[in-house]
Amino acid sequence: MSDYIQTFPIRRIVEHGPGVKSYYFDQMIDARAGQFINLWTPGVDEKPFSISNIDDRYIEISVKAFGPFSKDLMNRQVGEYLGIRGPFGHGFTLQNNALLIGGGIGIAPLRFLGFELAAADKNFVTLMGGATDYEIIFAEDFNRLASASYLTTDDGSLGKKGLVTADLAEIIETHNIRYIYAAGPEIMFVKIKELIDNLHIPYEFCMERYMKCGIGICGQCVLDGSGVRLCVEGPVLNQDELSKVKELGMPHRDASGKREQPVG
Ligand SMILES: Cc1cc2nc3c(=O)[nH]c(=O)nc-3n(C[C@H](O)[C@H](O)[C@H](O)COP(=O)(O)OP(=O)(O)OC[C@H]3O[C@@H](n4cnc5c(N)ncnc54)[C@H](O)[C@@H]3O)c2cc1C
Ligand code: FES
């Protein structure tokens, strides 16, 4: 792990659709699926991004345009230098007979996990959802790597129309799922948890909070109830770690550390 920012040129950019791109840099770090890097754009800001793959040549991140930082990134070109620190945090464990559930840009860390599970000869099924077809990035990889692959979109442009969690119970039963991994919007975690807590299926969720230092110093990403610093003890948390978290699905801290509503 390097806590020092080093700058690297963007080697390649892949556009998945409007406002959704993957960026490739020379492979300069070793990391596990679920870990993240902090990306610094000179004069703009520094933000955390999950690693969507590492191979012999490249490290890859995948970004959806939301606000100032990610929109600026959309205008960056191959050859421009950006700063990278990391990798940070803890990644996923590798389990057999698992279901990978991804929502929107949360699909990114699950793509890297899919490669790691396949390399470890683990059997897994994937269930990926997005607002529209191009938001389901890496669908071909999931089709190729998983024993079964399900897709959903809100507008019906790819896969089944509807929420990613709509057929969850049926998929778990059909494939005799023994472990769940999820990454995506927090409301998705709440729905998944409601269902699988009753089935006693263990799980790991890849969480997001506003982060600054990325190394456990500033306290910005601490989760109420558990004291977990998401950048160090997360961003992947299992069911035991999440059982102490009071704020799942509730408003998060903003850049100042202030929360919109207290967690009681
Ligand atoms: C561990 C982790 C992994 C992430 N992985 C990805 C990824 O693979 N792809 C991707 O597109 N995005 C990822 N993000 C989110 C990303 O860091 C930015 O938040 C996002 O790009 C929006 O930033 P913005 O300035 O463009 O928009 P803003 O308008 O500033 O923010 C949009 C939303 O992102 C949240 N946010 C803003 N800054 C941060 C920050 N420093 N840390 C956490 N949340 C923040 C805001 O609270 C808001 O909800 C990840 C975040 C975390 C914590
Ligand atoms: S971002 Fe500073 S403690 Fe986690």
Side-chain half-sphere of 33: how many Cα atoms within 13 Å? 28
Q: At a CB cut-off of 8 Å and minimum separation 6, what does 48 contact?
A: 36, 37, 38, 39, 88, 208, 211, 214, 231
Indicate the domain borders of the chain.
2-88, 98-206, 207-264
CB distance 213 to ligand 2 below 6 Å? yes
Alpha-carbon distances of 62 from 49, 68, 161, 243, 254, rounded to whole Å:
8, 16, 24, 29, 23
By alpha-carbon position, which residue is closest to atom 3 of ligand 2? Answer: 216
CA of 68 to the centre of ligand 2 (A): 21
CB distance 184 to ligand 2 below 6 Å? no
As a whole number of Å, the CA-based R_g of the chain is 18
Q: At a CB cut-off of 8 Å and minimum separation 6, what does 131 contact?
A: 104, 153, 154, 155
CB distance 14 to ligand 2 below 6 Å? no
- Domain 2-88 in CATH 2.40.30.10: yes
Which ligand 2 atom is at minimum distance from the Cα of 231?
A: 4
CB distance 220 to ligand 2 below 6 Å? yes
> For the structural domain made of 98-206, what CATH number should be given?
3.40.50.80
pLDDT, averaged across the chain: 94
pLDDT of 1 higher than 70: no
This prediction has a pTM of 0.94
Check residue 260 and give its pLDDT. 67
Check residue 2 and give its pLDDT. 74
Check residue 263 and give its pLDDT. 56
Check residue 208 and give its pLDDT. 95
Which pLDDT tens digit goes with each residue over 90-136? Answer: 999 999 999 999 999 999 999 999 999 999 999 999 999 999 999 99
Collapsed DSSP state (helix, strand, coil) of residue 54: strand
